[in-house]
Amino acid sequence: MGVDRVVFPGIVAFACLGVIAGCGGSGTGGAVVAPPGVNSGLTQRPTNATCRAGDAPGSQQSLAVQRAFASLSFSSPVLLLQAPGSTARWYVVEQGGTIRSFANDSAAATTALVLDIAAQVASGGETGLLGMAFHPNFPADPRVFLSYTSGTSPLQSRISEFRSSDAGMTLDPASERILLTIDQPASNHNGGNLSFGPDGFLYAGFGDGGSGGDPWGAIGNGQNLQTLLGKMIRIDVNGASGSTGYRIPADNPYAANAVCAAGSGAQNCPEIYAYGLRNPWRWSFDRSSGELWVADVGQDSWEEVDRVVRGGNYGWRCREGAHVYNADCGPAQNPIDPIAEYSHSEGQSITGGYVYRGTAIANLVGRYVFGDFVSGRIWSIARDTAPTLRVTGGFDSGLQIAAFAQDADGELLIVSYAGTLHRLVAGVATSSSVPVQLSATGCVDPANPALPSSGLVPYKPNAQFWSDNAQKTRFIGLPDGQKISIGADQDWDFPVGSVLVKNFSLGSRLVETRLFMHHNDGSWAGYTYEWNDQATDATRVVGGKTVTVAGQTWVFPSEAQCLSCHTQAAGYALGLETGQLNGDLLYSASNRTANQIVTLNAIGMLTPAVTADPASLPAMPDPYGTAGTLTERARAYLHTNCSQCHRPNGGTPSTMDFRYGTSLSGTNACNALPQAGDLGVANARLIAPGDAGSSILVARANRRDAQAMPPVASALVDAAGVALLTDWINGLSSCN
C-alpha cells in the first residue's frame, strides 16, 4: 500500500498532519525497540509525553455518572424500576422479553429471573418488551402491567396484565390477560412506556405506526383521532367494560365513544388522553406536581420535550418540534408548543427522564432531566421554562441512554442499552478544558502545527470511510507504558489517555483536524479544528458548522455528531481493528514499507502480543481497489461506512448488521422491507437481490439530505461507493 501524500504551499510532505510520524522529532528516549530481524516499519516506539487525553471538559459541569451495581450486566436493558413502597429490590426489563430483579445492594452480584416471555415477544430494533408498571397497590393488588410487541402479520403492540403470588419475586406467565392490542403497520415507533399517574389511572404511550414521516392515511396517525397510534392513552384497570379489561375514565376527551381496544374505531377513540406524538419512548410524572413530562423522538431535525395535558395536541405530523414539517396534516387544532427542543447536531433520539426531586445534587432540584440515546448527552431545564427553549451543550455521559430511573429518595439512575446501570451524581469541578488552538493540544509541534508531535504513530485502515474526496492521515497517541488490547473479536481497545488524530486535506489545502480522546473518566469525546488559510494553526469548532472550502461544501461535525458514529457498540475507536490494520504502510521515519500489525507489535504497542503470521489474520480489502472479490469489497465498504451503527446494540431503530463477518442473510437487510420510509422507490427492499434500483441501501447512499446514509458530516455523494454497491446488489441472485 502506498503512502498518503499531502501537498502544502511550497512543500511536499509525507502525511503527518502533513508528515508521517518521525518528521517532528525522534522522540525515542526510553522507547521499546523492535527485535532484530523483524520487518518492522519503525525501529522503536516513540515516547509520547504531550499528546494525552486528560480530564473531560464535562467534568466542569455539575453532573457526572458513576457505575451502579458494578457486578451486574444485562442484555439490551430498556427499563429500571422498583415496586411501589419497596426499596428492597430493583427490576430490569430486557428488550428480548425477560425481566430480572436483584437486591438493592451496591455489592449485588446475582439476578433472579422474574418472567420470561421471549417466545411470544417480537424483539429487535424498536420492538420488544418495552414497558412495565406495578399496580399502585402492589402487592395487595398483585397485578403487573407490561407493554410489548408480538407477532409478525400483523405486528401488534399489547398491554397485558400478569400476576405475582410471591410479592414480585416472579410473575406467572400463565396469568397473562391481554387488555389491549394495536396493529402496527411497521416495526418502528412502538413507544411502549407504561406508568400509573397520580390519579390512579394507567397511562401508555404509542408511536405513530412507524416508517418515516407518518405516511399513514390522509393526515397521518398522529392527527387521526380514530386510532391509538401517535397517542398518549389513559385507561382505568380497576374495572372492566365487557371483555376489554379496562374502563374509560369519565374525563377522557372522548369518553362517551365506543372503545378502540383493537387500536382503531369508527369514532374518536375514548382511550386517548393526548395526541400528535411521533414516538413517546420514555416519559414520567413529576412526583411533586403530578405533571406529565413526555420526550417525543423527532424525525429528521428536532427532538422535543412536551409537558402533556389532557386533550392536548402536540403537533406531529404537522410539526416537528416547533417547526413546520408537513402542511398537509388535516385540521390540526391549536398544536401546543414543546417546552424545549434540540437539533440533530446535539443528538438524534431523545430519552425522557424525571423532574429531579432528590437531595444529592442541589442545583438540579425541580429541574426536568433528560438525555439522548445516540450522543449520550444529558440536559436539564427548569419546570417553568417558557416554550420553546432550544437546548445545546449538555453533559456527555458516554452512555447509550435507554431510560432513566428514580429511586425512593428521588435520586436518578441511568440504564445504558449496552447492559450497565449508572447513577447520576454531582460532578467535581476541575480546570480541565480542551485547548482552543490545535497548537496548544500537545498533539502537534507547537512551533509548526502542520507537523505532528514526536510521539505519534501513523496508521491507515484498509477500508477507509468516505469523507467527501478528502485525503486523510491518521495517528495514534498512546500513553507511555500503555498498550492497545486486542479483543477476541479482533477489535482494538485503547487505554485511558489515548488520543486518535485524523486530518483532512482537499487538494493542497489542509482543512480540518479531529482529535478523538479517551478521557480520564473513561468517556470518549471528539473535537474538531478548522485550519486557517496559511496552515499555521487550527481553531477549535464548537457545535459544528458548514463552510465552503476549495469550491465544495465542507461539514465540521459537532461533538454530539462525532459520538453518533463513534458508537459504544463499535468500541468508539473506528478503523482500528485487526482486519483494518492488517496491511502495509510506508513509514517515512525509516523509509520502510511494513505490515502495520507487525510494526505495532514489534514496538510493544499491542497486547496480547501477536504471534500469528499476518497472512492467517483477518484482512479487509480496499473497497475502491482491485484486490478481493466484488462481495468482499462491498462488504468492506458497508463495514466501514455503516456498521458502526448498524450492528447489535448499535443505537439504530433497525436490526440490520453490516459488520464484515456477518452473512448476507444475517444482515437482516436482504429482501427486507424498509421500516423508515421507501423514499418513493417501487417494490422497495433494503437490499433487493439483482435489483439495485429497488434497494433502499443504494438510494440512501446516493443522496445527501435528511434520508442520507451515512447521516452526518458529508455533503457529497460517494459516486464510486454507490457504483460498488450497485454492481454488488445487481450481481446477487439470492440472500444466501
* 259-313 per-position pLDDT tens digit: 997 899 999 999 999 999 999 999 999 999 999 999 999 998 999 999 999 999 9
Which pLDDT does position 28 carry in this prediction?
38
Distances (CA, A) of 1 to 459, 501, 548, 593, 599: 12, 20, 31, 8, 15
Segment 534-538 shows an average pLDDT of 95
Q: Which residues pair with 401 in a beta bridge?
A: 416
Q: pLDDT for 643-663, tens place per residue?
A: 999 999 887 878 899 999 999
- Grid coordinates representing 489 are 473479536
Reported as a pLDDT band with limits 50, 70 and 90, residue 242 is low
Share of the chain above pLDDT 70, in %: 94
CATH number for domain 74-331, candidates 1.10.10.10, 2.120.10.30, 3.30.70.2740, 3.40.50.300? 2.120.10.30
Q: pLDDT for 90-113, tens place per residue?
A: 999 999 999 999 999 999 999 999
Distances (CA, A) of 442 to 48, 52, 453, 607: 10, 7, 7, 26
Hey, where are the domains in the chain? Answer: 5-56+432-616, 74-331, 630-730
> Is the pLDDT at 1 greater than 70, yes or no?
no
Reported as a pLDDT band with limits 50, 70 and 90, residue 76 is very high
Which pLDDT does position 29 carry in this prediction?
40
> Is the pLDDT at 249 greater than 80, yes or no?
yes
Q: Hey, CA dihedral for 446, 448, 452, 453, is it positive or negative?
A: negative
Measured CA to CA, the distance from residue 81 to residue 497 in angstroms comes to 35
Reported as a pLDDT band with limits 50, 70 and 90, residue 13 is very low
Segment 347-373 shows an average pLDDT of 95
Q: In 648-664, which positions are buried (b, 16+ CB within 10 angstroms) versus exposed (e)?
A: ebbbbbbbbbbbbebee
Choose among 468, 410, 426, 144: nearest CA to 284. 410
Flag the least confident range among 103-117, 401-415, 464-478, 517-531.
Answer: 517-531
Segment 496-519 shows an average pLDDT of 96
Collapse the DSSP code of 283 into the 3-class scheme (helix H, G, I; strand E, B; otherwise coil) and give the result. strand
Start-to-end CA span in the chain (Å): 32
Identify whether the C-beta of residue 295 lies closer than 8 Å to the C-beta of residue 304. yes
Which pLDDT does position 241 carry in this prediction?
53
Question: Please, is 519 exposed, middle or buried when counting C-beta atoms within 10 Å of its C-beta (0-12, 13-18, 19+)?
Answer: buried
> Is the pLDDT at 121 greater than 80, yes or no?
yes
Which pLDDT does position 171 carry in this prediction?
98
Cα torsion through 52, 55, 56, 58, rounded to 10: -160
Distances (CA, A) of 207 to 220, 221, 264, 298: 11, 9, 14, 11
Which pLDDT does position 653 carry in this prediction?
75
Identify whether the C-beta of residue 663 lies closer than 8 Å to the C-beta of residue 657. no
Which pLDDT does position 14 carry in this prediction?
26
> Is the pLDDT at 519 greater than 60, yes or no?
yes
Which pLDDT does position 334 carry in this prediction?
86
Distances (CA, A) of 397 to 64, 271, 379, 494, 658: 7, 37, 10, 18, 26
Q: pLDDT for 149-198, tens place per residue?
A: 999 889 999 999 999 999 999 999 999 999 999 999 999 999 999 999 99
Segment 536-561 shows an average pLDDT of 92
Which pLDDT does position 538 carry in this prediction?
97
Using a CB cutoff of 8 Å and minimum separation of 24, what contacts does 160-164 make?
161/237, 161/245, 162/115, 164/138, 164/139
Mean pLDDT of the chain: 91
Which pLDDT does position 55 carry in this prediction?
85
Q: pLDDT for 590-626, tens place per residue?
A: 999 999 999 999 999 999 999 999 999 999 999 999 9
Collapse the DSSP code of 596 into the 3-class scheme (helix H, G, I; strand E, B; otherwise coil) and give the result. helix
Q: Verify cis geometry, omega within 30 degrees of 0, for the bond prior to 142.
A: no
Q: pLDDT for 22-43, tens place per residue?
A: 333 333 344 689 888 889 999 9
E strand spans, 453-551: 457-459, 471-477, 484-486, 492-493, 499-506, 509-518, 524-531, 538-541, 545-549
Measured CA to CA, the distance from residue 736 to residue 734 in angstroms comes to 6
